[in-house]
Structure 1
Amino acid sequence: MAGPIIRTYKGGSIIYFEKDRSEDIYVLRQGRVVLTYTAIDTGYEVKEDVRLGEFFGVKSALGKYPREETAQVVGGATVLVFKLNDFEVFVSEKTHLILKMMKVFSSQLRQVHKKLREILGQAEARNPAFELMNVAEVFYKNNNFEHAAYAFGKYLDHYPTGPYAGRATELQDLSRKGTPYPINMPPLVYEAASTSRMTQENLQNIMKPAAEKTNLGAGTDNTITSLYNRAHTFLNVGKFEEAAAIFKDLMVRNDFKYDSEKKLVDNALFQMGVCFLKLNNLETASNTFSAYIKKHPSGESVKESLFHLAEIAEQQGDRQRAGMLFGKVALLPPERDSLSQKARQKAKELSA
């Protein structure tokens, strides 16, 4: 490990601005650094001092998203600067730091949720099952497989029949194998307490063939989120026809109460395309992905739809169209994700 470097800043210096993109992580060694950001509840500017020995810039670096605050030096300061890879190695050898950071992030996340609920007038607190699952997925998305698997295991220990049990089991298995976070995994959606409890019978019912579930009984969880997760589980275990049948039913649902449910209904069309692609029904898959792009031009799965259309064109021998589509995927934001990298490589191969 190369280790951190030491930087000395003069008073008034800006270490980084809000919305900057960087994977550097800092520790205040000496002096004073003030973080300035806008409070989500009031819209007013907030200033917060970094304590000596405290890390800052961690969340945006690990999440690879723009800085959420401006870090400015007051009266001079000395900081340690870690590159992301060096930081991950450093922290992985110090379990107590990981636990401390988890507590801090969890506390911050609860405060954000609390303020958002106050703004939206929602008094009900999100349950700890969702919070634990969310932490586990953050670890996984940052390729911290060991801690992700541990957190998924804790979820299953405490909530073996919880609303995310199937998802936790699937992701724990993948993280143990060191498999990157699945690009087609649906977003983690919060379910209110009234609809979030799932019995062991319902959990086992997820894995039954679709033919056995044609007539959904009164005890079966028939919410949009649960059906979407059930279909996605079928998709991931190779039961593509069963998954497609559920996604098809979801496409016509209009009883959603939340934006998150509407997104799942909208995304069901894309997931149907994935099912047809897995079944090697290339023509239908191509038509489905094209229909998704036309119907949801700003949808969250447009980039993946274009990528799959490029794959299909390549399999059908249309190298020119495939290269053009891969090139288009590579230019769609975010341009540094794994899908863009794969698309650039494929476009390069096809143009050779």
Structure 2
Amino acid sequence: MHILRFGRTIPFRGQQVDCLPRTSPAERIDVGRIVAAGLLAFGISGCSKAFQDEMRADMADLRSIQARQTASLDQLQSQFASLQGKVDELEYAVHGKTSELEQRLERFGARVPPPPGVPADLLAEDEEKIRRVSGPAADQFSEGLDLLRAGEFERARSLFQSFVDQNPDTAFSDNALFWTGVSLEKIGKYDRAVVAYSDVFKLYPAEDRVQPALLRLGEAFAKLGSTEEAKLTFQKLLDDYPRGKYASEARKQLRDLNRAGRSRR
């Protein structure tokens, strides 16, 4: 038995048989072209599939990248919104602090130290209290305080006296009467100041301006030369309010008057 070999004639059962049909040279060229075309088509088909697979992979990568970018953008937008919220909070806080500072500066500007002889602590206290009250009477009282701080004592006295006459039973009536006495003192009318201070503890014995009114009443008596009346007034303050805010000053004034009396003997 002979082995079949491509393109050669082999014996088969006593006959010579070609493994391929006999062809002309031209036919062999056409066959070669057909084979080449088939191989090319197969190669192109293989390349096309590989290209498509690669394109699919690239598209998948692009979609993955786009998804990550979208997620990153969403995260950035969320962070921006959070930052914007914090900025708004800071602006609100800064605005609030600025307004508070402006109010404090305004109050500070309004509180220029009053002239000597005007109790600054009581003046500031009443300024704070009257800010919480509204209405024509409150405006009148507040204007009187402003005039007192500015040293316009006659105008202040007129406003405070008018306030007391028109509003005898308010929480600020004893205060207005007290400031009437202070204003009268500052314009040198001590005799009338004595009347105003006396009315404070006579008309409003339970109010908070009684103690300073007694102290200033004793001082007004002393300036008028009424030493005994001054001593009695200081002693009353000590007897009624031995632990009060003005007790130490009343004690000092009383001691000074007693010493002055002994030195004249």
What is the TM-score with the length of structure 1 in the denominator? 0.39
> Percent identity over the alignment?
21
Q: Superposed, which structure 2 residues align to 1:1-352 within 5 Å?
A: 155=100, 157-158=102-103, 165=106, 167-171=107-111, 173-174=112-113, 182-187=121-126, 188-189=128-129, 195=134, 223-254=136-167, 262-333=170-241, 335=243, 337=245, 339-352=246-259
Kept after mapping to 1: 8 A contact 2:144/2:156: yes
Distance 1:184 1:159 in 2: 17
Partner amino acid, structure 1, of 2:162: D
Number of matched pairs: 160
Partner amino acid, structure 2, of 1:169: G
Q: CA deviation at 1:184?
A: 4.3
Q: Runs of 4 or more off by more than 6 Å in structure 1?
A: none
Radius of gyration: which is bigger? Answer: 2
3-state SS of 2:144 partner: helix
Kept after mapping to 2: 8 A contact 1:331/1:340: no
CA separation of 1:155 and 1:239: change in aligned 2, threshold 3 A:
farther
Kept after mapping to 2: 8 A contact 1:326/1:347: yes
Distance 2:130 2:220 in 1: 34
Kept after mapping to 2: 8 A contact 1:155/1:168: no
CA separation of 1:254 and 1:274: change in aligned 2, threshold 3 A:
closer
1:33: which partner in 2? none
For 1:49-108, what per-residue CA distance to the aligned partner results, in whole angstroms no more than 9, with x for missing partners?
xxxxxxxxxxxxxxxxxxxxxxxxxxxxxxxxxxxxxxxxxxxxxxxxxxxxxxxxxxxx
Q: CA deviation at 1:254?
A: 4.5
Moved more, 247-256 or 292-301: 247-256
Bigger relative CO (Cα 8 Å, ≥ 6 apart) = 1
For 1:260-288, what per-residue CA distance to the aligned partner results, in whole angstroms no more than 9, with x for missing partners?
xx211342122111111111101111112
Kept after mapping to 1: 8 A contact 2:234/2:251: yes
Kept after mapping to 1: 8 A contact 2:163/2:176: yes
CA separation of 1:314 and 1:154: change in aligned 2, threshold 3 A:
farther
Q: CA deviation at 1:334?
A: 6.8
Kept after mapping to 2: 8 A contact 1:289/1:305: yes
Q: CA deviation at 1:168?
A: 3.8
CA separation of 1:238 and 1:192: change in aligned 2, threshold 3 A:
closer
Distance 1:155 1:234 in 2: 25
3-state SS of 1:290 partner: helix
CA separation of 1:334 and 1:231: change in aligned 2, threshold 3 A:
farther
Greater helix share, 1 or 2? 2
Distance 1:232 1:182 in 2: 12
Distance 1:279 1:344 in 2: 27
Kept after mapping to 1: 8 A contact 2:182/2:193: yes
CA separation of 1:223 and 1:327: change in aligned 2, threshold 3 A:
same
The Cα RMSD (Å) is: 3.6
3-state SS of 1:263 partner: coil
Partner amino acid, structure 2, of 1:292: V
Structure 1 regions of 5+ residues with no counterpart? 1-131, 133-150, 196-221, 257-261
Distance 2:254 2:164 in 1: 33
What is the TM-score with the length of structure 2 in the denominator? 0.50
Partner amino acid, structure 2, of 1:348: R
3-state SS of 2:162 partner: helix
For 1:113-163, what per-residue CA distance to the aligned partner results, in whole angstroms no more than 9, with x for missing partners?
xxxxxxxxxxxxxxxxxxx9xxxxxxxxxxxxxxxxxx9x97451477xxx
Greater strand share, 1 or 2? 1
Distance 1:284 1:274 in 2: 10
Kept after mapping to 1: 8 A contact 2:123/2:145: no
